Structures are given as C-alpha cells and as structure tokens.
Amino acid sequence: MSRHRLYRAAWTASLSLLAVPFVFPFLWMVSGGFKSVTEIFGAPSLIPRVWRYENFVEVFSYQPFAQQYFNSLYIAAVVTLLTLVIASLAGYALARIRFGGAGLLMLLLVMALMVPDEVTIIPNFFLIRWLGLVDTHWPLILLPVFGSQGVVATFLMRQYFLALPKELEEAAKMDGLTRLGIWWKVALPMSRPALAAVAIITFLNSWNLFLEPLIFLSSLENFTLPLALSNFNDSYGLPLWNLQLAATTIAVIPVLIIYLIAQRQIVESFALSGVKG
C-alpha cells in the first residue's frame, strides 16, 4: 500500500472514530423507537431484541400527531419563504442603496442580536394578546420573520450581496432595469448559495421552536412538533419513552432531507459571507 493510501485510510479511520459520539445518540434514538419501554432501560443495545413497528402507528393514535406534524411543516415553510423575501430585499437595500443612516440602521440590527429571545418574550406575549392572536399560529410566523432570526438572515444576505460585482448591476441599469428588477433578475439568481443557507437555517429554527409555542399555544390541535414530543405521557404523567423516540425519529426526517439537499450551498455561503463587509 502506498504512503498516500495509508495516510488516507488512517485519516478516514480517525474521523470515523471521532464521529461516533455524534452519531451514537441518533442511532440510539432510532433504535429506541422500535423497542418497548422495559427494553430501552433494561437491556441497553442498539439492535432491538423485539422490533416493535407498532410504536410508529401508535404515535398517530395517541394524540393528533399528524395535525401537529402538518402544523410544524407549514409554519416552517411559510416562515422560510417570508424570511427569504424580506431578508433578501432588506439585505440588498443595505448592501447597494446608499441612504442616510444606513450604517446606524445596520448597527441597530446587529445590536438586536445581542438581546436574547427570553428577554422579549413577555412584552411580545402582551402584544400578541392585545392583537387577539393567542392560541393561533400567527405569533410563530410573525415573531421569527421580524425578530432576531430575520435579522440574522438579513445580515447574511447583505454580506453576500456586498461580494457581488457592481459591474453587473451597472449593465442592468443600462438595459433599463429598476432597482426591483435588478434584485429579481440579477441579484437573486447569483445569490443561490446564500438563499439556501438562509432557508435551511430558518427552517431548522422554526422547526425546533419550543419556547414560543409553549407560551402562545394551548390547544392540542394547534401544537407544533416540539410541544407534541413532550406530550407523550402515561396517566401518571411519566414519559412514554418508546413513543417519544419513535415520534422524534419521524420528526427529524424533513430536517435530514433538507440538509442533504442544501449542504454544499450552505458551506459555500458561509465561506463567501465574510469576503467583504
């Protein structure tokens, strides 16, 4: 075996060994979804002795899990779409349009990232209650889009737009395109990596949101997945671990699909987002 192949094999083995602590919890979760409660804690093993496929069927009969799954899916999709539109528009304006107070506005946006969501949750609750939107999905859509999550998306899009060559926009202006036309026909097509990164980050944040649904939602039919996963309890209030693990396994499927599709664009976007600022 050549030195190059030996080095590559050693490097692969080392990375595989280092990946074990990160992969093991995921494998244990999937395995636990096919076990009984007694087997999960009585005889720890990654391979179930008795495969209980009925756990995945019981998940949907124990509570309105299908409705809750759909709630998380459509909320995450709407939040992602709105964030992409608003963040790309705001990011393009901050990167390319010169106006008074642009630097101060960007400073205020960055300062807003330093305020934890837990600090603003109480005034947000009073605002949502005043608007009559408690126990609806509107807070879960509006707060992420116009909150710190939207600020992060705007900052990423601004950094990416700054790295685009201005000559393309000047050529588009000569062809008669307006600012909105340049954003739509020039800037957006060239910023697909940044859009992919913003999309997956926004989708993951919305998909995993727990505090806001806990505060604003009270009906089982309106619950999202994070609340639903914590609601698999027996009559004594103890967790039904096998059902929770089965439900969690189902819940991670969209996240894995989205990441596998967009992982290359995400890496490229983060590599280019700091090129110019």
Q: How confident is the model at residue 145 (pLDDT cuts 50, 70, 90)?
A: very high
- Helices (DSSP H) in the chain: which residue ranges? 3-32, 37-42, 54-62, 65-96, 102-112, 117-131, 138-146, 148-162, 166-174, 179-182, 188-190, 192-207, 211-216, 225-229, 241-251, 253-272
The answer to whether the CB of 225 falls within 8 A of the CB of 23 is no
What pLDDT does residue 267 have? 64
pLDDT of residue 72: 94
Q: How far apart are CA 53 and CA 124, in angstroms?
A: 42
pLDDT, averaged across the chain? 85
Q: What gap in Å lies between CA 66 and CA 221, rounded to an integer?
A: 10
Q: State the average pLDDT over residues 261-273.
A: 61
Domains of the chain: 63-227+251-272 (1.10.3720.10)
Encode pLDDT of 99-142 as tens digits: 777 778 878 887 877 888 888 899 999 999 999 999 999 999 99
Euclidean distance between CA atoms 254 and 20, whole angstroms: 23
Kindly state the average pLDDT of the residues 228-241: 80
Banded model confidence at residue 273, pLDDT cuts 50, 70, 90: very low
> Above pLDDT 70, what percent of the chain?
93
